[in-house]
Amino acid sequence: MIALLQRVSSAQVDVEGKTVGKIGKGTMLLLGVEQGDDEAKAKRLCERVLNYRIFSDAQGKMNLNLSQVAGQLLVVSQFTLVADTEKGNRPSFSRAGEPQKSKLLYEYFVSQVKAAGIECQTGQFGADMQVSLVNDGPVTFQLRVA
């Protein structure tokens, strides 16, 4: 399971011209599910995401996590994160999780975020989404649990 985290001052997801998710200060998270991923991996990744210290403290150091800055989280599914790009000129998606199971793990991940008390918005799984954001920093990290 892979998460691409971006510290944002705002982010939004639109589907067919309608906004389905929108946040202010917080984290935009692109989530990729791989074959073999399960709820245990989703829970571990969620804990890492929520505790990852990417926000600046009073001294300007990245020492604060999402809850410490009262930030919001926007979670968007993105199977292309798991693409194999090591050979050729076309990505392979053979490592991507099966769509139905991936959707369940995506929903489980979101439920874990909400259970932790974090304000969470989402994209629409499997949809053609238009994502816009203002990356604060820019600050972007990739987290992976195997």
Give residue limits of the domains in the chain: 2-144
Length of the chain: 146
On the question of pLDDT at 146 being above 90, the answer is no
pLDDT for 57 equals: 97
Is residue 142 annotated as a catalytic residue, yes or no?
no
State whether residue 36 is helix, strand or coil: coil
Is residue 122 annotated as a catalytic residue, yes or no?
no
| 94-121 per-position pLDDT tens digit | 889 999 999 999 999 999 999 999 999 9
Point out the catalytic residue in the list 6, 72, 79, 125: 79
How far is CA 44 from its chain centroid?
13
Is residue 78 annotated as a catalytic residue, yes or no?
yes
pLDDT for 106 equals: 97
Among residues 90, 128, 125, the alpha carbon closest in space to that of 14 is found at: 128
Dihedral in degrees, nearest 10, Cα atoms 13, 16, 18, 23? 0
- Lookup: tokens for 41: 């991996």
Point out the catalytic residue in the list 78, 112, 121, 122: 78
**Please, what is the Cα angle at 132 between 81 and 68, to 5 degrees?**
80
**Please, what is the Cα angle at 52 between 49 and 53, to 5 degrees?**
150
- The verdict on whether omega for the bond into residue 138 sits within 30 degrees of 0, i.e. cis, is yes
| 47-69 per-position pLDDT tens digit | 999 999 999 999 999 999 999 99
CATH of domain 2-144: 3.50.80.10
pLDDT for 52 equals: 98
Question: Tokens 């791989």, residue?
Answer: 34
